[in-house]
Amino acid sequence: MFKTLEKSLDRPLSDLELKKFKHTILNNVDIVKVHIDPVTKKRLTAYFVFNKNEEVIKNQLNSFLNKWNEDLSKKENSKNNVNLINVNEPPIQKLNSCCSNSNNSNISNELLEKKWITILKGRDIGYTEEIVSLLNFFDKSYQDLVISEMSDSHKINKVGFSSLIPKYYMEKLGYFSNSPEHLFFASHLSLDSIEKFTEESKALGGHLPQEEVFFESPEYVLQSAPCFKVYFSLEDEILNENKIFNLKGHCFRNEIKNTYLLERLLNFTQREFVFIGSPEFVVEGRDKSLELTIEWMRKMGISGRCELANDPFFINDDQKQKFNIPSKIKYEVRADIPYKDDSISIASFDTHGDFFSRTFNFKLDNSENTWSGCIGLGIERCVWSFLQQYGLDKEKWPTYVRQNYNK
């Protein structure tokens, strides 16, 4: 059923790099699985479907590995030029929720059999009442906890935005030239092509014509993170105090090869809190929100932990030398998936340093040292990990969730 190719990297992968490597190679090479030798951490075996052209896969793999090794070399050479700032780090060894789960089997088939989830065309899915109720309850309970614990000392500004990002902002971020691989673009028919487009669609039996000539060059992308709009909205502003923003939004990420029910979606929702102000305020906000996220997981009965991560969503290695950023940019909270003895990220905590404030020219009281940070909780993944840990039998759910999720 599968064929394999074996290759070797220039140097061993670190534990942090390993996760990013697997994710990136699956999105760039037409393979279904990659195995990294656990001893050398350099040798890899790539698995691909037997009816694929081996020469094409080999060329894709060689091209990817050449770029990966080249990027590693650039990263090593630029380390001395990066202005990394050491800040107080959270006690990640204490940030865990050791809850007792009641399920060790994969609930995917049961979700489909009971029609809690419906598979649609194009790798899309739909939810029925049980999932919708859980999604709403998980979001509300998390939001309520964070607000109740933080609003006494700081006003929390609730904001909302559309899912469309004008290309101006992405160009200013350097997104198109640095990390465009997960973007969805929004376009429309050019006015003078509508009639011809319609005629061709009729000739194709109602199908979508493939010629790009019908479409205007995209003026928008679909947002990959809701917090972007907060920074855009503050362009050229002077802030008179530290700020906290609360928002919820859709995220769109092109991960066609890896979609899997609620675990990995093309379009998912995040509850976000954004901190903008002094470096001390932003770091305190990160640490407090980390603690509150673990507290919320214990309340919901979700087992997991906090870990250091190395895949910040907003900056790449080439950009780091231009900004004042912390040496450890990102932490994530991971929830256990018992049936495969693994975990998935359900929340990320990024400290941006002055990347966004300098890029969009907003300042705190005319200070040159204005930082930002954000936390994003993936609602669908929270529900997914909860159901994987407890199953679909509501009698086995933790009391708090069972009694409150559908109110």
pLDDT tens-digit profile of 129-161?
999 999 999 999 999 999 999 988 889 999 999
* Local confidence band at 11 (pLDDT 50, 70, 90 cut-offs): confident
Query: 91-178+224-404: CATH homologous superfamily?
Result: Bira Bifunctional Protein; Domain 2 (3.30.930.10)
Candidates 1.10.287, 3.30.70, 2.30.30, 3.40.198; correct CATH number of 2-81? Answer: 3.30.70
pLDDT tens-digit profile of 221-273?
999 999 999 999 999 999 999 999 999 999 999 987 788 999 999 999 999 99
| Contact yes or no for 374/274 (Cβ under 8 A) | yes
Q: What are the extents of the domains in the chain?
A: 2-81, 91-178+224-404, 184-220
pLDDT tens-digit profile of 350-392?
999 999 999 999 999 877 799 999 999 999 999 999 999 999 9
Most confident stretch, 34-43, 173-182, 253-262, 337-346: 337-346
Average pLDDT (112-119) is: 96
**DSSP structure class, residue 42:** S
| Long-range contacts (CB closer than 8 Å, 24 or more residues apart) made by 256-264 | 256/123, 257/26, 257/27, 258/23, 258/26, 258/27, 259/123, 261/108, 261/111, 261/117, 261/125, 261/384, 262/117, 262/125, 262/131, 262/380, 262/381, 262/383, 262/384, 263/337, 263/344, 263/381, 263/384
* Local confidence band at 81 (pLDDT 50, 70, 90 cut-offs): very low
* Local confidence band at 1 (pLDDT 50, 70, 90 cut-offs): low
